[in-house]
Amino acid sequence: MIQIKNPEQIKAMKEAGRITAEGMAIAIENVREGVSTKHLDKLIREYYEKCGARPSFLHYGGFPASACISVNDEVIHGIPSSSRILQEGDIVKIDVGAFYHGYHGDMARTIAVGKVSDEAKLLIDVTKQSFYEGIAQLKPGNRLGDLGYAVDSYVKKFGFSTVKRYVGHGIGQSVHESPDVPNYGTPGRGVRVCVGMVIAVEPMVNVGTDEVRELSDGWTVKTADGKLSAHYENTVAILPDEVLILTQV
Residue 126 predicted with pLDDT over 90: yes
Residue 227 domain-assigned? yes
Q: Is residue 53 part of a domain?
A: yes
- Answer whether residue 38 is part of any domain: yes
Would you say residue 30 lies in a domain? yes
195 lies in some domain: yes
Residue 1 inside a domain? The answer is: no
In this prediction, residue 173 has a pLDDT band, given cuts at 50, 70 and 90, of very high
Tell me what the mean pLDDT of segment 96-116 comes to.
98
Per cent of the chain over pLDDT 70 is 100
Q: Looking at the domain assignment, is residue 2 inside a domain?
A: no
Give the mean pLDDT of 63-71.
Answer: 98
Structure confidence by residue, pLDDT tens digits, 186-239? 999 999 999 999 999 999 999 999 999 999 999 999 999 999 999 999 999 999
- C-beta of residue 71 within 8 angstroms of C-beta of residue 80: no
**Mean pLDDT, all residues of the chain:** 98
pTM above 0.95, yes or no: yes
Q: What is the mean pLDDT of residues 64-77?
A: 98
Q: Are 232 and 108 in contact (CB under 8 A)?
A: yes
Domain containing 32 equals 7-245
* 109 occurs within a structural domain: yes
The stretch 66-88 carries a mean pLDDT of 98
**Mean predicted confidence (pLDDT) in 27-40:** 98
Domain count of the fold of the chain: 1
Confidence of residue 66 (pLDDT cuts 50, 70, 90): very high
- CATH number at 185 reads 3.90.230.10
Q: By C-alpha distance, which of 40, 84, 34, 87 is closest to 65?
A: 40
pLDDT bin (cut points 50, 70, 90) of residue 249 is confident
Residue 218 CB-density burial (10 A; 0-12 exposed, 13-18 middle, 19+ buried): exposed
